[in-house]
Amino acid sequence: MRRYDMDWLRVLVFGLLILYHVGMFFVPWGWHIKNNDIYGWLRYPMLFLNQWRLPILFVISGMGTYYALNKRSGKQFALERFVRLYIPLAVGMLLIVPPQVYFERLANGQFQGGYLDFWPSRAFIGIYAEGNFSWHHLWFLPYLFLFSLILIPAFLKLRNNPDNGLLRWIRRQMNKPFGLFWLIIPLYLAEAFLEPFFPVTHALVGDWFTLVFYVFLFFYGFLLMASRNNFWEIAAQRRRLFLKCGIVGFTVWLATILTFEDSTVRHFTEAFLKVFNLWSWILAIFGYGARYLNKPSKLLAYCNEAVYPFYILHQTVTISIGYYLMDLNWGFVPKFLVLTLGTFGISWILYEFGIRRWRAIRPLFGLKVRPKKYDQVGVLTKEAS
């Protein structure tokens, strides 16, 4: 049975990702280009989103993997992952990401000239940040591709042995109010003992904390679906409990980092609060999604297909607009609105008229090729239906 709430959550979380990257233009943290005025207060809502926005995407991806693998052999699934992840990554690195590096180099005075002076002659010289070749925001794709391939044997074993000990244990924990919180133990160990020695780089090679942390979350998504215990119903029933845990977790975590100086005790405390907080919010979001979002709609069908190309396109659009806004003497609100509306609007135009309607272009952005008898708005004609 298709989970429309999972589709909605995927769309909404990727939408928040776009807003988060718009926010990166204004906060004190390092990013590719920065506004001429920085707004310190914005870091607090950004910190809230930053706790769970990427973890929930990996969990949702693991859930989707369960459904995708149910209809395919291991080899078929690996080929599907190559088509859906590797090809868009390659296209993105060749065509979509280079404008981001170009505008960053212009903003920092590291390059002068037009874009055709930069691409392709300079765009692929050296590895970013010293060089120009990068996957930037598309780092999610190689990590997800790697996780999908290396976990195929484990996923097939779980699929073919639904009554194994691990899945029985998961089913038992689901029946306890706080049972699923046992899953934060591996996350805590990674946060406490790996993160200090392997800071996040998104470079894949040597990025051990990121690899370990997110592969567990991806695996958890598969486990929750493979358990065949009604996770969605359980999450909906306990959504208020999970929400309270999230509110308490974020409040105490924020108070900890604002109150206490860095120390060993603070580090281990902060690590626990962080994983407790993010897992609480993930469970709460799934619970409220199951309660209110498990409904089909034409809007959902459109957005669910559009979200992947939007993800690939959006940061390039944001940085391109931001370059021409960064030195203007405008306030936060007009710049934020222009960046947000411009990112969504231009991404939609590129998707609707440059990707969605073209059979040869669709696979380059991770979309399935439609039957030829689809009309221009993506609806099967009477003859085809």
pLDDT digits (tens, 9 = 90+) for 222-248: 999 998 778 999 999 999 999 999 999
Query: What's the alpha-carbon Rg for the chain, to the nearest Å?
Result: 22
Per-residue pLDDT of 323-363, as tens digits, reads 999 999 999 999 999 999 999 999 999 999 999 999 999 99
Q: Which whole-number Å values give the CA distances from 276 to 9, 47, 215, 220, in the listed order? A: 21, 15, 17, 15
**Cα-based torsion angle of the residue sequence 200, 204, 210, 213 in order, rounded to the nearest 10 degrees:** 180
Q: Which whole-number Å values give the CA distances from 234 to 2, 173, 191, 293, in the listed order? A: 17, 11, 28, 15
- Are the C-beta atoms of 275 and 191 separated by less than 8 Å? yes
Report the distance separating Cα 249 and Cα 187, nearest Å: 15
How many other CB atoms are found less than 10 A from the CB of residue 235? 24
For tokens 């399935």, the residue is 368
Q: Does residue 315 carry a pLDDT above 90?
A: yes
First to last CA, the chain: 22
Per-residue pLDDT of 73-121, as tens digits, reads 999 999 999 999 999 999 999 999 999 999 999 999 999 999 999 999 9
Structure tokens at 321: 């607009």
The angle subtended at Cα 21 by Cα 16 and Cα 23, nearest 5°, is 90
Report the distance separating Cα 366 and Cα 374, nearest Å: 18
Q: Which whole-number Å values give the CA distances from 189 to 2, 152, 195, 228, 269, in the listed order? A: 34, 24, 9, 28, 12
Structure tokens at 351: 């998707």
Q: Does residue 292 carry a pLDDT above 80?
A: yes
Q: Provide the pLDDT confidence category of residue 385 given band limits of 50, 70 and 90.
A: very low
Residue 380 DSSP SS3: strand
Report the distance separating Cα 57 and Cα 10, nearest Å: 7
Give the pLDDT score at 373.
Answer: 55
Residue 288: phi, psi to the nearest 5?
A: -70, -35
Give the mean pLDDT of the chain.
Answer: 94
- Are the C-beta atoms of 16 and 49 separated by less than 8 Å? yes
Report the distance separating Cα 339 and Cα 25, nearest Å: 9
Can you name the residues that pair with 133 across neighbouring β-strands?
127
Q: Which whole-number Å values give the CA distances from 89 to 71, 126, 168, 383, in the listed order? A: 24, 18, 37, 36
